[in-house]
């Protein structure tokens, strides 16, 4: 297959004339003065009483059949008022009508001057309609019909327009007096007005007339180009589906005109851009592709060279700001943003990266002028540099079958919000699991798993991450297959962190109990170095499984086997994540693990865990980890206090508390304080002598700042019972040290805590 980007460009370059067979829109207005003979001034929005007056002064509208003009309410049921009975005035009306006609001429692809000639006022009351028909030429030079729907309150009455197999349904209702709706279409287009369900639809019908000689304008026709484009896109889709990666995943056609992010839309496209968009839209529809508008952004940075020169004396002439030239592009970012669909909606797509090979042509920006460019002078060891950017609106195409590959391949920052939006859409629709919306979300989830990034050695994630967002969507979708695949292919392969445990345990709720147990065993076994995260996950899932928690016994055994113990042992490797050093256990590890073992019913494993905890106090410090865990278990599982492993744990904690409570707790009788100072320099030795002296309350140390700071550091490091201050009335300054009762006060606080803990543990 030839280069698709070049072939697409060659076809689109033949599309020059803009326009379509129809155009519609709304126009802000200053309310015109409309008067009808026999009725008087018409209020807008139209009042029901005046609607009845208009009908009373109107006549039944006929329709044409060949050379005959007939009245048949089975074909046309509406009322007409001839133009000679209508007076239109107002300071702004002429300009408003001219603006509408200009928009219609552009939308229909007519470059010649066009005028609008009022043909009739039509009143469609409740039940009014006009079956499908084509207009006849009512005036020399007429080539199209303009319908202006005045502000009026009604429902129904949609306008259908059809041309060469294409059909649009236009709702032209407008109840705001400062706005009217309009539509124009070529005279040979088949069209109909659907029945008005309620209210009254008031319209002005104009003949659009070309001024000048020659053949009348015809709707733009690019049938051959559309056929060629459709065939090209079909072949492209087939190639991508059969051999992904052999062709560009998307096609990007930069537009000719400049559009800002605020104004970018299919409706605002100009001239050839509008024509190309219309042709591509039809071809994409036939080839089952999707077409969007987006903003192409290219950002470049790199090194630059100054264009200054050396004077004969060797003096370097400082260059002016413009005196630089680009030497090398070091970094380049390409993205698509500000997405718009043909229907005017904004897809839930963020900045999507793209490849240069996806541009049509790939060298679209090679000789383009940057929108912004800035040079920076050399500083220090860094040479001169530059930054520049390009922005251009573009049409973006991709096959519907490959859309999800594109989104998933763009990264989690793009794919996860899009999946969340799809999930929202499915839930809002109330559709079931067999619906097309659900299937799209499921297929995207499959692609996201396929493109999920590999884990890194630092991936411990104490807070929820991408996995939590993804699994939350799967739970809302009730996507059991994707949840199972993620847990086994991603979480169990090292991409696992404690912050995602809530989402992981919720996702296991989609699986049968036996399958859940098997998956959890794989996750814990493959992430054995993450003891705390594994214990928390085991506990959460055991709570969810309730009566089936015993199925988690193999996972529990795997976790207990990998528990840290002797700190002298070599560190355990974390599969696929490198080596991690052992650290002291936390209260959460002990509480979660014993809670899980209790719910699972693994008493033997529980006793083994408690024995290991009490054997290795360096790894499981009593005050920092074991005692807080025991207190947490009292609150979390009050009914489990009679369970032997928890009894053993509590007994060890109570013995530890009893020993400390039995220690004497008396306030210091004099000024004697602990003289243990780790530093043995001369100044710190003076400090130690002062501390053990029971007669001295204060000590003054006169020295330079560095020595005073050193002594203060020793006081803080060794928790000396001293308050310090600096006296600045002498030279050198003095460090004043006064003894306090901080150690005693700490023991008093600790005694209160110990007594409370003893009471809570049943001692």
162 and 275, same domain (yes or no): no
* CA 646 – CA 633 distance, rounded (Å): 8
Contacts of 32 (CB under 8 A, 6+ apart): 88, 89, 90, 92, 93, 96
pLDDT attached to residue 623: 94
Q: What percent of the chain has pLDDT over 90?
A: 60
pLDDT attached to residue 583: 55
517 and 551, same domain (yes or no): yes
Examine residue 10 and state whether it is found in any structural domain, yes or no: no
pLDDT attached to residue 692: 96
Q: How many domains does the chain have?
A: 4
Cα-Cα-Cα-Cα dihedral of 311, 317, 323, 325, to 10°?
Answer: 70
Q: What percent of the chain has pLDDT over 70?
A: 93
198 and 89, same domain (yes or no): yes
pLDDT attached to residue 543: 95
pLDDT attached to residue 136: 79
> Can you tell me the mean pLDDT for 200-216?
86
pLDDT attached to residue 579: 40
Write out pLDDT tens, residues 715-732.
999 999 999 999 999 899
Say which range, 313-317, 390-394, 459-463, 676-680, has the weakest mean pLDDT.
Answer: 313-317
Write out pLDDT tens, residues 434-448.
898 999 999 999 999
Query: Which of 608, 631, 661 is the endpoint of a domain?
Result: 661
Query: Which of 611, 631, 661 is the endpoint of a domain?
Result: 661
Confidence of residue 134 (pLDDT cuts 50, 70, 90): confident
Check pLDDT > 80 for residue 662.
Answer: yes
pLDDT attached to residue 571: 47
174 and 63, same domain (yes or no): yes
Residue whose token pair is 């000689």: 213
> Can you tell me the mean pLDDT for 53-69?
82
**What is the SS3 assignment for 579?**
strand
> Can you tell me the mean pLDDT for 538-547?
95
Write out pLDDT tens, residues 418-432.
999 999 999 999 989
pLDDT attached to residue 316: 47
> Can you tell me the mean pLDDT for 478-485?
95
Examine residue 320 and state whether it is found in any structural domain, yes or no: no
228 and 283, same domain (yes or no): yes
Q: Structural domain of residue 337, as residue ranges? A: 223-308+325-375+382-408
* CA 703 – CA 736 distance, rounded (Å): 11
Query: Which of 210, 235, 258 is the endpoint of a domain?
Result: 210
Instruction: Fill in the DSSP letter of residue 425.
Output: H
CA atoms within 13 A on the CB side of 270: 8
453 and 477, same domain (yes or no): yes
Mean pLDDT of the chain: 88
Examine residue 270 and state whether it is found in any structural domain, yes or no: yes
Contacts of 197 (CB under 8 A, 6+ apart): 126, 154, 155, 156, 157
Check pLDDT > 80 for residue 1.
Answer: no
275 and 145, same domain (yes or no): no
Confidence of residue 459 (pLDDT cuts 50, 70, 90): very low
The torsion angles phi and psi of 177, rounded to 5 degrees, stand at -65, -20
Burial bucket for residue 81 (CB in 10 Å: 0-12, 13-18, 19+): buried
152 and 185, same domain (yes or no): yes
Examine residue 671 and state whether it is found in any structural domain, yes or no: no
Write out pLDDT tens, residues 356-389.
999 998 888 888 888 888 888 887 777 888 899 9
pLDDT attached to residue 444: 93
Check pLDDT > 70 for residue 455.
Answer: no
457 and 473, same domain (yes or no): yes
Check pLDDT > 80 for residue 317.
Answer: no
Confidence of residue 278 (pLDDT cuts 50, 70, 90): confident
> Can you tell me the mean pLDDT for 36-58?
92
Examine residue 158 and state whether it is found in any structural domain, yes or no: yes
201 and 292, same domain (yes or no): no
pLDDT attached to residue 582: 46
Confidence of residue 564 (pLDDT cuts 50, 70, 90): confident
199 and 261, same domain (yes or no): no
Provide the token pair at 733.
């300054």
Say which range, 322-331, 517-526, 591-600, has the weakest mean pLDDT.
Answer: 322-331
204 and 259, same domain (yes or no): no
**Nearest partner of 174 among 80, 46, 51, judged by Cα:** 46
Check pLDDT > 50 for residue 578.
Answer: no
More confident of the two residues 634 and 18? 634
Examine residue 641 and state whether it is found in any structural domain, yes or no: yes
CATH number for 33: 2.60.120
pLDDT attached to residue 577: 43
Examine residue 762 and state whether it is found in any structural domain, yes or no: no
Residue whose token pair is 């005045």: 150
Instruction: Fill in the DSSP letter of residue 43.
Output: P
The torsion angles phi and psi of 691, rounded to 5 degrees, stand at -65, -40
Check pLDDT > 60 for residue 277.
Answer: yes
pLDDT attached to residue 15: 83
Task: Count other Cβ atoms within 10 Å, centred on residue 436.
Answer: 10
Confidence of residue 67 (pLDDT cuts 50, 70, 90): low
* CA 424 – CA 153 distance, rounded (Å): 33
Examine residue 5 and state whether it is found in any structural domain, yes or no: no
Q: What is the 3-state secondary structure (H, E, C) of 93-121?
A: HHHHHHHHHHHHHHHHCCCCCEEEEEEEE
List Cα–Cα distances, 746 to 674, 719, 740, 743, 753, in angstroms. 14, 11, 12, 5, 11
């Amino acid at each position: 297959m030839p280069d698709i980007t070049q072939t697409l460009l060659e076809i689109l370059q033949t599309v020059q004339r803009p326009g379509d067979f129809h155009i519609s829109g709304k126009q802000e207005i200053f309310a015109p003065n409309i008067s009808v003979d026999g009725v008087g001034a018409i209020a807008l929005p139209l009042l029901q009483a005046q609607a009845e007056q208009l009908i009373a002064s109107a006549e039944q509208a006929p329709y044409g059949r060949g050379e005959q003009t007939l009245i048949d309410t089975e074909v046309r049921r509406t009322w007409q008022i001839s133009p000679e009975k209508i007076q239109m005035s107002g300071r702004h009306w002429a300009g408003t009508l001219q603006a509408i006609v200009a928009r219609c001429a552009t939308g229909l692809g007519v470059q010649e001057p066009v005028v609008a000639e009022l043909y009739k006022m039509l009143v469609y009351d409740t039940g009014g309609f006009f079956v499908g028909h084509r207009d006849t030429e009512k005036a020399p030079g007429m080539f199209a019909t303009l319908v202006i729907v005045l502000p009026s309150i009604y429902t129904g009455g949609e306008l259908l327009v059809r041309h060469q197999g294409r059909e649009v349904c236009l709702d032209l209702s407008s109840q705001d007096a400062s706005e009217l709706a309009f539509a124009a279409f070529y005279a040979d287009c088949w069209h109909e007005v659907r029945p008005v369900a309620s209210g009254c639809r008031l319209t002005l019908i104009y003949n659009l007339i070309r001024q000048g000689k020659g053949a009348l304008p015809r709707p733009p026709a690019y049938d051959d180009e559309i056929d060629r484009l459709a065939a090209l896109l079909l072949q492209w889709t087939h190639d991508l589906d059969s051999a992904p990666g052999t062709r560009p995943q998307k096609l990007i056609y930069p537009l000719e005109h400049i559009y800002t992010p605020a104004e970018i839309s299919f409706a605002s496209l100009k001239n050839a851009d509008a024509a190309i968009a219309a042709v591509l839209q039809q071809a994409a529809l036939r080839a089952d592709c999707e077409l969007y508008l987006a903003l192409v952004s290219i950002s470049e940075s790199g090194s630059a060279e100054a264009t200054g020169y050396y004077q004969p004396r060797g003096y370097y002439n400082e260059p002016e700001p413009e005196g630089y030239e680009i030497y090398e592009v070091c970094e380049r970012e390409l993205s698509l943003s500000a997405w718009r669909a043909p229907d005017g909606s904004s897809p839930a797509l963020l900045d999507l990266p793209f490849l240069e090979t996806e541009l049509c042509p790939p060298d679209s920006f090679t000789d383009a002028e940057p929108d912004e460019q800035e040079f920076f002078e050399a500083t220090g060891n860094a040479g001169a540099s530059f930054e520049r950017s390009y922005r251009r609106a573009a049409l973006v195409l991709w096959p519907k079958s490959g859309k999800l590959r594109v989104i998933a391949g763009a990264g989690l920052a793009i794919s996860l919000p899009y999946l969340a939006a799809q999930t929202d859409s499915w839930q809002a629709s109330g559709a079931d699991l067999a619906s097309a919306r659900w299937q799209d979300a499921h297929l995207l989830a499959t692609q996201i798993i396929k493109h999920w990034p590999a884990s890194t050695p630092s991936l411990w994630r104490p807070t929820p991450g991408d996995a939590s967002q993804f699994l939350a969507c799967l739970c809302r979708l009730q996507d059991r297959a994707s949840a199972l695949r993620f847990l086994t292919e991603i979480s169990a392969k090292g991409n696992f962190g404690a912050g995602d445990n809530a989402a992981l345990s919720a996702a296991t709720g989609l699986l049968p109990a036996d399958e859940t147990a098997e998956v959890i065993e794989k996750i814990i076994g493959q992430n054995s170095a993450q003891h705390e995260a594994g214990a928390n996950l085991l506990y959460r899932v055991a709570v969810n499984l309730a009566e089936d928690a015993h199925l988690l016994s193999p996972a529990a055994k795997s976790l207990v086997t990998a528990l840290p113990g002797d700190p002298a042992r070599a560190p355990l490797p974390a599969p696929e994540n490198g080596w991690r050093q052992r650290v002291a256990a936390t209260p959460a590890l002990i509480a979660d693990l014993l809670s899980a073992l209790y719910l699972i019913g693994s008493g033997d494993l529980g006793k083994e865990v408690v024995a290991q905890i009490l054997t290795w106090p360096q790894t499981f410090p009593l005050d920092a980890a074991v005692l807080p865990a025991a207190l947490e278990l009292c609150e979390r599982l009050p009914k489990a206090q009679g369970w032997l492993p928890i009894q053993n744990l509590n007994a060890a904690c109570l013995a530890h508390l009893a020993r400390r409570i039995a220690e004497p707790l008396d306030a210091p009788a004099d000024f004697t304080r602990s003289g243990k100072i780790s530093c043995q320099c001369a100044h710190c030795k003076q400090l130690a002598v002062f501390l053990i002296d029971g007669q001295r309350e204060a000590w003054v140390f006169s020295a330079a700042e560095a020595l005073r700071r050193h002594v203060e550091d020793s006081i803080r490091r060794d928790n000396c019972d001293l308050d310090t201050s600096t006296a600045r009335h002498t030279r050198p300054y003095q460090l004043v040290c006064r003894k306090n009762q901080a150690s005693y006060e700490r023991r008093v606080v600790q005694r209160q805590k110990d007594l409370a803990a003893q009471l809570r543990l049943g001692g």
